[in-house]
C-alpha cells in the first residue's frame, strides 16, 4: 500500500524530484563525455552513482501516492536508469576495453525526453525497444542476490539519507513523514528491532550532528546485512555522503542579488548625505562616517559573497559540446578532437545561459564549414584528425573565450564574390571584406542543411554577444584555421566604474574598459591635419572629444584648447582599441564607485550604452561603453 501524504508535501516532493533528476542527467552526460577522454574507474563510479540516484529517487516517488498522470513516466525513468546502471557495470572490469558507449548516450537522451514528459504530464515515448537492445548488450558478472524486499528498503533508505544531506532546512514533522516509507519497508522485512537504530540516524541528522549520523548509518547497515546473511557487501553502493552544499533556486539568488543592488544604491545615497552633513556638523559627520564605513564594508562583502554564489565554472557548458561535435562529425566523414583550456574560469550563470546559442552556432560552423573531411585533410598534408579548441581566460576584468579550429579558414575572395552579388562595397582590404560575415543574411554556403548555411546566424551571434555588453572579433588564415574571440563581462548586475561630467551631464565608464585616467597639460595637445593628438607614454595618441561625439558636432583644436578646466589640466580617459591606445577628453572627474546596472527600455538601447544607474539623490545616469562611442 502506498503512503498517503498531504498535497503540499507531494507538490514539494515532485519539485525536488524534477530538480534532482535534471541534475543527475546532466552529471551523467558530463561523466560519459569525460569517460571518452579518460576511461578511469572513478568516472565509472560517478556515472553509476548518477544512474543509481535516479533509480532510487524514482522508486521513492513511486512508493508515495502521487497523482496518476506522473506514475507512468516515473516508472519508465526507474526502468531506464536501472538498465543503464546495469549496463555501466560492464565497464568496471575493463574500462579501457569499452567501445560502445552510444547506448549510454541514447539512454541519457531518453531520460531527458522522459523528464520533459514528466514535467508536462504527457504521454512519453515507448522505451521497450531500447530496453531490449541494451539488455542484449549486457554481459554483466553475477552479483550476490539480495532479497527483493531488502532491495526496496535499500533504495528507499538510500534516497532518504540523500535528503538528509540538507537536514538543516527540514522541519522535524516533515522529515519524519519522509522516513515513513523506509520504516514501513523495514517492518516488511520483519526487522522491527532495527527501527530504533534507524530512528537514531534521523534524530542525529535533525540536530546537524553529521559525524554521529554517518557512524550510525555504518553500524545500521552492518547489522542489517548480518541479519540477512550477506557478508562483504560493498556498503558504498547504499550509503550516501553528507555534503556541505544545498540546492538553491537561481531565481532566489537573482532576487537576493537585486536586493544587494538596491542596498548599494542606498549606500550611495548615504554617501551623498554624508557630504551634505559636513556642512551641518563636523562631530556628527565624524560619527556618521564611522557608521558609513562599516556599512560600506558589509555591503561590499555581502555583494562579493552573493556574486560568488551565482558564479559557475564555464566547463559546465563547454563539456556539453563534446557530444555535439562527436555527433556532427560522424555524419560528415570527419574526425575531430575537442580540447578545453580554462574550464575552471567562473562566470555568472545568467551570462552562461545566454552564451549557449552563440557558442553552439560558432561550434557548428567550425564543424560544418571549418574542419575538412578526412580525405581533404590528407591531401592538404594535415593530420586526418581536425581540432576544435576553446580557451577561456580573464583579461582586464572581462572573460575572453576563444573558439579555434585548424580547418579551411575564411576565404576573402569567396566573401568578396558574395558581397558583389549583394551589391556591397568590395573596394576593401581582405581584413575588411571578411567582416561582411556579420551582415544579416550573408552566407557563402551553396547548400542549406540542418547544421548551418541558412543565411542567418553570425549577425545573430554578434547581436547576442553585444546584448551581453560584450564584443566578438576573429582572426583567420586560409587553409590554417579560424579563431573567434568573445569578450564578455563575467557579471551583468553590478559594475565598478568612474563617473564624470561632460557638459552639465554626468556619465559613467566601466573600469573594465579603461586603461588609465590622466590629467594633461594643454601644451601636450597637438593638432595634425585637423586631428587632435596627445602626448602619452612617449607616444602621440589620437584624442576623441566626448562633448563633440555626444553633440554630433566637430569642435576644432582651438575651441578645445580654449575650454576651462580645473587647474588648467585636461581630464582624459585612456582606452585600448585593437591594441592601440587612444584618449577620450571629458570635462571633470567626479568619483570612482560601484554602480547597480539598470536595464534601458528598448527604444533607448544603443551599442554604446551599457545601461543606466540611479544615484543616491535619485538622479539617473547613463553608463557608456567608450569603445562603442568611438566606433559608432
Over residues 545-579, the pLDDT tens digits come to: 999 999 988 888 989 999 989 888 999 999 988 77
Same domain, 46 and 140: yes
Same domain, 308 and 338: no
Quick check: 323 pLDDT over 90? no
* Residue 504 exposed, middle or buried by CB count within 10 Å (0-12, 13-18, 19+): exposed
Confidence (pLDDT) at 174? 60
Buried b (16+ CB within 10 A) or exposed e, 46-58: bbbbbbbbbbbbb
Q: Is the pTM of this model over 0.75?
A: no
CATH of the domain at 323: 3.30.565.10
d(CA 9, CA 32): 34
d(CA 336, CA 364): 12
Same domain, 406 and 550: no
Same domain, 190 and 282: no
Are residues 329 and 357 in contact, defined by beta-carbon separation less than 8 angstroms?
Answer: no
Quick check: 211 pLDDT over 50? yes
Dihedral (Cα; 408, 414, 415, 417), 10-degree rounding: 180
Same domain, 13 and 39: yes
Q: Which of 238-252, 314-328, 431-445 has the highest mean pLDDT?
A: 314-328
Same domain, 89 and 151: yes
Q: Report how far apart, in Å, the C-alpha atoms of 122 and of each of 74, 81, 85, 594, 616 are.
A: 12, 20, 26, 48, 51
CB 533: neighbour CB atoms within 10 A?
19
Residue at 242 is within a domain: no
Domain finish residue from 312, 332, 353: 312
User: What are the tens digits of pLDDT across the range 232-262?
Assistant: 443 333 333 444 455 666 677 777 777 777 7
**DSSP string of 66-103, one letter each residue:** --HHHHHHHHHHHHHHHHHHHHHHHHHH-GGG----HH
Same domain, 514 and 611: yes
Confidence (pLDDT) at 111? 93
Sheet containing strand 620-624, edge to edge, reads: 588-596, 494-502, 505-510, 620-624, 609-614
Classify residue 367 by its DSSP letter.
Answer: I
Confidence (pLDDT) at 240? 38
Show the cell assigned to 40. Answer: 578511469
Same domain, 73 and 150: yes
Long-range contacts of 532-537 (CB under 8 A, 24+ apart): 532/557, 532/560, 534/572, 534/583, 536/574, 536/581, 536/583, 537/581
User: What are the tens digits of pLDDT across the range 108-164?
Assistant: 999 999 999 898 888 888 898 888 887 765 543 333 334 556 666 766 676 666 666
Are residues 474 and 290 in contact, defined by beta-carbon separation less than 8 angstroms?
Answer: no
Same domain, 480 and 518: no
Are residues 130 and 77 in contact, defined by beta-carbon separation less than 8 angstroms?
Answer: no
Same domain, 77 and 221: yes
Radius of gyration of the chain (CA): 31
Dihedral (Cα; 585, 586, 588, 592), 10-degree rounding: -100
Q: Residue 135 is part of which domain span?
A: 7-237
The total of structural domains in the chain comes to: 4
The answer for residues whose C-beta is within 8 angstroms of residue 529's C-beta and 6 or more apart is none
Mean pLDDT, residues 624-632 taken together: 84
Confidence (pLDDT) at 177? 64
Residue at 2 is within a domain: no
Are residues 111 and 80 in contact, defined by beta-carbon separation less than 8 angstroms?
Answer: yes
Closest Cα partner for 161 from 119, 210, 128? Answer: 210
Show the cell assigned to 604. Answer: 533607448
Same domain, 177 and 273: no
Find the angle CA(126)-CA(66)-CA(105) to the nearest 5 degrees: 35
Residue at 551 is within a domain: yes
User: What are the tens digits of pLDDT across the range 512-524?
Assistant: 889 999 999 999 9
Confidence (pLDDT) at 241? 41
Position with higher pLDDT, 76 vs 297? 76
Give the 3-state DSSP-derived string for 541-558, with helices as H, strands as E and coil as C.
EEEEEHHHHHHCCCCCHH
Residue at 536 is within a domain: yes
Confidence (pLDDT) at 581? 92
Find the angle CA(511)-CA(513)-CA(515) to the nearest 5 degrees: 80
CATH of the domain at 613: 2.40.50.180
Find the angle CA(87)-CA(343)-CA(337) to the nearest 5 degrees: 60
Same domain, 217 and 255: no
Mean pLDDT, residues 353-379 taken together: 92
Residue at 246 is within a domain: no
Residue at 195 is within a domain: yes
Domain finish residue from 433, 461, 489: 489
d(CA 485, CA 523): 39
Confidence (pLDDT) at 161? 66
**DSSP string of 379-438, one letter each residue:** HTT--SEEEEEEEEEEETTEEEEEEEE-S----HHHHHHHHHHTT----S-HHHHGGGGG
User: What are the tens digits of pLDDT across the range 168-188?
Assistant: 555 666 666 667 777 777 777
Classify residue 599 by its DSSP letter.
Answer: P
Q: Report how far apart, in Å, the C-alpha atoms of 277 and of each of 271, 273, 283, 445 are.
A: 10, 6, 10, 67
Confidence (pLDDT) at 146? 46
Mean pLDDT, residues 388-409 taken together: 92
- Least confident residue range of 259-268, 353-362, 450-459: 450-459
- Greatest distance between any 2 Cα atoms in the chain: 99
Confidence (pLDDT) at 246? 56
Q: Residue 540 phi/psi, 5° resolution?
A: -100, 125
Dihedral (Cα; 199, 204, 206, 207), 10-degree rounding: 150
Mean pLDDT, residues 460-464 taken together: 88
Mean pLDDT, residues 444-467 taken together: 63
Sequence-ordered alpha helix ranges (H) in 38-67: 41-62
Are residues 458 and 442 in contact, defined by beta-carbon separation less than 8 angstroms?
Answer: yes
Residue at 244 is within a domain: no
Domain finish residue from 312, 328, 352: 312
- How confident is residue 389, by pLDDT bands cut at 50, 70 and 90? very high
SS3 528: strand
Confidence (pLDDT) at 366? 94
Are residues 25 and 108 in contact, defined by beta-carbon separation less than 8 angstroms?
Answer: yes
Mean pLDDT, residues 341-350 taken together: 89
Show the cell assigned to 98. Answer: 569499452
Q: What is the mean pLDDT of the chain?
A: 80
Confidence (pLDDT) at 232? 41
Position with higher pLDDT, 424 vs 195? 424
Q: Residue 273 phi/psi, 5° resolution?
A: -70, -35
Quick check: 632 pLDDT over 50? yes
Residue at 1 is within a domain: no
Q: Residue 608 phi/psi, 5° resolution?
A: -95, 0
Amino acid at each position: 500500500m502506498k503512503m498517503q501524504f498531504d498535497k503540499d508535501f507531494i507538490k514539494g516532493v515532485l519539485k525536488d524530484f524534477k530538480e534532482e533528476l535534471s541534475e543527475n542527467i546532466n552529471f551523467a552526460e558530463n561523466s560519459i563525455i569525460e569517460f571518452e577522454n579518460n576511461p578511469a574507474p572513478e568516472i565509472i563510479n560517478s556515472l553509476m552513482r548518477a544512474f543509481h540516484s535516479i533509480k532510487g529517487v524514482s522508486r521513492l516517488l513511486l512508493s508515495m501516492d502521487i497523482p496518476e498522470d506522473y506514475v507512468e513516466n516515473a516508472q519508465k525513468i526507474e526502468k531506464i536508469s536501472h538498465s543503464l546502471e546495469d549496463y555501466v557495470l560492464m565497464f568496471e572490469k575493463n574500462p579501457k576495453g569499452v567501445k560502445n558507449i552510444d547506448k549510454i548516450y541514447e539512454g541519457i537522451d531518453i531520460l531527458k525526453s522522459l523528464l520533459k514528459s514528466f514535467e508536462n504530464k504527457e504521454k512519453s515515448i515507448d522505451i521497450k525497444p531500447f530496453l531490449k537492445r541494451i539488455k542484449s548488450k549486457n554481459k554483466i558478472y553475477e552479483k550476490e542476490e539480495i532479497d527483493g524486499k531488502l532491495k526496496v528498503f535499500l533504495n528507499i533508505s538510500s534516497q532518504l539519507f540523500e535528503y538528509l544531506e540538507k537536514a538543516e532546512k527540514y522541519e522535524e514533522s516533515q522529515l519524519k513523514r519522509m522516513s515513513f516509507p523506509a520504516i514501513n519497508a523495514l517492518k516488511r522485512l520483519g526487522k522491527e528491532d532495527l527501527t530504533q537504530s534507524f530512528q537514531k540516524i534521523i534524530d542525529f541528522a535533525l540536530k546537524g550532528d553529521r559525524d554521529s549520523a554517518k557512524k550510525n548509518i555504518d553500524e545500521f547497515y552492518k547489522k542489517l546485512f548480518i541479519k540477512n546473511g550477506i557478508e562483504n557487501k560493498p556498503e558504498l553502493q547504499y550509503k550516501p555522503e553528507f555534503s556541505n552544499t544545498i540546492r538553491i533556486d537561481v531565481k532566489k539568488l537573482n532576487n537576493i542579488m537585486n536586493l544587494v543592488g538596491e542596498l548599494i544604491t542606498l549606500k550611495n545615497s548615504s554617501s551623498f548625505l554624508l557630504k551634505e552633513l559636513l556642512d551641518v556638523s563636523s562631530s556628527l559627520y565624524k560619527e556618521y562616517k564611522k557608521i558609513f564605513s562599516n556599512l560600506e564594508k558589509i555591503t561590499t562583502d555581502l555583494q562579493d559573497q552573493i556574486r560568488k554564489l551565482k558564479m559557475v565554472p564555464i566547463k559546465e557548458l563547454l563539456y556539453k559540446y563534446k557530444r555535439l561535435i562527436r555527433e556532427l562529425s560522424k555524419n560528415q566523414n570527419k574526425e575531430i578532437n575537442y580540447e578545453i583550456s580554462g574550464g575552471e574560469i567562473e562566470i555568472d550563470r545568467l551570462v552562461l545561459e545566454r552564451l549557449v546559442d552563440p557558442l553552439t552556432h560558432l561550434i557548428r560552423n567550425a564543424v560544418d564549414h571549418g574542419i575538412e573531411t578526412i580525405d581533404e585533410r590528407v591531401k592538404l598534408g594535415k593530420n586526418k584528425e581536425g581540432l576544435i579548441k576553446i580557451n577561456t581566460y580573464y583579461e582586464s576584468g572581462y572573460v575572453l573565450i576563444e573558439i579555434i579550429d585548424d580547418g579551411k579558414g575564411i576565404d576573402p575572395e569567396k566573401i568578396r564574390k558574395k558581397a558583389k552579388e549583394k551589391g556591397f562595397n568590395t573596394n576593401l582590404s581582405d581584413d575588411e571584406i571578411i567582416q561582411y560575415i556579420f551582415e544579416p543574411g550573408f552566407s557563402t554556403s551553396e547548400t542549406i542543411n540542418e547544421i548551418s548555411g541558412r543565411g542567418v546566424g553570425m549577425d545573430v551571434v554578434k547581436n547576442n554577444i553585444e546584448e551581453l555588453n560584450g564584443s566578438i572579433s576573429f582572426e583567420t588564415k586560409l587553409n590554417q584555421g579560424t579563431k573567434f574571440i568573445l569578450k564578455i563581462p563575467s557579471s551583468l548586475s553590478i559594475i565598478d566604474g568612474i563617473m564624470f561630467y561632460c557638459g552639465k551631464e554626468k556619465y559613467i565608464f566601466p573600469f573594465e574598459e579603461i586603461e588609465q585616467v590622466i590629467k594633461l597639460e594643454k601644451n601636450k595637445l597637438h593638432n595634425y591635419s585637423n586631428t587632435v593628438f596627445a602626448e602619452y607614454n612617449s607616444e602621440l595618441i589620437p584624442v576623441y572629444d566626448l562633448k563633440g561625439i555626444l553633440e554630433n558636432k566637430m569642435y576644432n583644436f582651438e575651441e578645445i584648447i580654449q575650454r576651462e578646466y580645473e587647474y588648467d589640466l585636461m581630464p582624459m580617459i585612456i582606452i585600448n582599441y585593437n591594441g592601440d591606445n587612444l584618449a577620450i577628453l571629458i570635462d571633470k572627474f567626479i568619483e570612482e564607485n560601484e554602480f547597480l546596472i539598470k536595464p534601458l527600455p528598448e527604444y533607448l538601447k544603443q551599442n554604446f550604452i551599457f545601461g543606466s544607474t540611479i544615484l543616491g539623490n535619485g538622479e539617473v545616469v547613463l553608463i557608456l561603453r567608450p569603445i562603442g562611442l568611438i566606433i559608432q
